[in-house]
Every structure is written in structure tokens, then in C-alpha cells.
Amino acid sequence: MASNALVEVTDANFDSDVLKSDKPVLLDFWAAWCGPCRAIAPIVEELAGEYQGRVTVGKMDVDRNGATPMRYKVTGIPTLLVFKGGQVVEQLVGYRSKDDIQKALDRHVGTSTSQPSVVAENVKTRV
């Protein structure tokens, strides 16, 4: 993992690093042999830097950690789960754009600037 902002999550540290986190967590379930996982990896690394201090971004290798993916019924990869307060609040399966992932994160980060602009866009669209 190239970025210092990324956390390696394992079955052993999942509860402490994800479920007990005091901020939202984006967890990328991946495997080395998975092409779409390799394609989304740079996006996840970028987001880890951009959201540093506001969101914990972690990666879990499903080949080395079987219990957690089974617990959360991860049957396809890449799967991105957003946890907040120890609960899954978003699930993105398959390759997703940076914009899609940012929208999922922004719904749970509590940024005051992003919510009004989304509302304003929706109002403009309806008019």
C-alpha cells in the first residue's frame, strides 16, 4: 500500500480499527488477482489522502482474511463498505468512479458545504 493514509485491516484488528472507530470508515475488500480491484486501488488511495483526518480508509485482502468478508456477506470484489458508528451505512460492489465513492462518503462525513450544494442541484434539476 503506497499511501500512509491507508490502513491495512485484518480479521484481527477489524473490531478495533473499523467498528470502534470514532469516524466513518471506508473499507475496500480486494484481492491481488482481481483486475477491477487493481483498477480501483488508485482511487481509494487518492480518497485516503483527500479525506485524511475525517475518514479512515482501509483495505482488507479477502484471500488472507476470510472471517470478516463472510460476516458481511462480501461475495464479489471489489466491495467498498462505509461504516459509521460500527454499522454498515453504504455498500458499493464492483468498480465505481471516484465521484460515486465520494458521494457515498460525503453522506456520512457531515461536511456542511457538500449537503447544501446537493440540495441546490436537486432543486435546479426539478425546475
Tell me: the pLDDT tens digits for 15-34?
999 999 999 999 999 999 99
- The phi, psi pair for 10, rounded to 5°, reads -125, 170
Give the chain's mean pLDDT. Answer: 87
- The phi, psi pair for 9, rounded to 5°, reads -105, 135
Say yes or no to pLDDT of 122 above 90: no
Whole-structure pTM value: 0.83
The neighbour count for residue 67, using CB atoms within 10 Å, is 11
More confident call, 113 vs 52: 52
Say yes or no to pLDDT of 1 above 90: no
More confident call, 111 vs 96: 96
Q: Which domains does the chain have, with CATH numbers?
A: 6-126 (3.40.30.10)
Say yes or no to pLDDT of 115 above 80: no
Burial of 4 (0-12, 13-18, 19+ CB in 10 A): exposed
Of 76, 126, 84, which is closest to residue 104 (Cα–Cα)?
Answer: 84
Catalytic residue set: 34, 37
Do residues 96 and 40 lie in contact, with contact meaning Cβ atoms separated by under 8 Å?
yes
Say yes or no to pLDDT of 96 above 50: yes
Where do the H-state alpha helices sit in the chain?
Answer: 14, 35-50, 67-71, 98-109, 114-126
Over residues 35-59, mean pLDDT? 97
Tell me what pLDDT residue 5 has: 85
Do residues 83 and 21 lie in contact, with contact meaning Cβ atoms separated by under 8 Å?
yes
Cell numbers at 11, concatenated: 480479521
Cell numbers at 19, concatenated: 467498528
Tell me what pLDDT residue 114 has: 36
Say yes or no to pLDDT of 119 above 60: no
